[in-house]
């Protein structure tokens, strides 16, 4: 049963990540420019921020799917 939960969450994060990457321009129009992203990522940093957020969502979803996040959060160093 847990595998269905992992697959479902992966698909949600994959869809969100792809949406963030493909639709970064409408997201910037909706939420406005991110001053922090513009400062540290340069001109157009708000668009890059949404694309990076999408990539992070996809990577986290894949790590959760294969169980790597379990080993990270249950490691002896985190206790």
pTM recorded for the entire structure: 0.84
pLDDT, one tens digit per residue, over 4-61 is 989 999 999 999 999 999 999 999 999 999 999 999 999 999 999 999 999 999 999 9
pLDDT at 75: 57
Structure tokens at 21: 């990457």
Rounded average pLDDT over 54-75: 87
List C-alpha distances in Å: 79 to 10, 42, 68, 73.
27, 38, 17, 9
Q: Among candidates 32, 73, 27, 69, which has minimal Cα distance to 50?
A: 27
**What residue spans define the domains of the chain?**
2-71
């Amino acid at each position: 049963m847990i595998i269905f939960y992992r697959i479902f969450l992966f698909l949600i994060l994959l869809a969100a990540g792809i949406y963030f990457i493909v639709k970064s321009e409408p997201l910037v129009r909706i939420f406005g420019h991110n001053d922090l992203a513009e400062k540290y990522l340069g001109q157009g940093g708000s668009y890059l921020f949404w694309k990076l957020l999408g990539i992070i969502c996809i990577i986290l979803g894949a790590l959760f799917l294969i169980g790597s996040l379990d080993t990270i959060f249950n490691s002896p160093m985190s206790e």
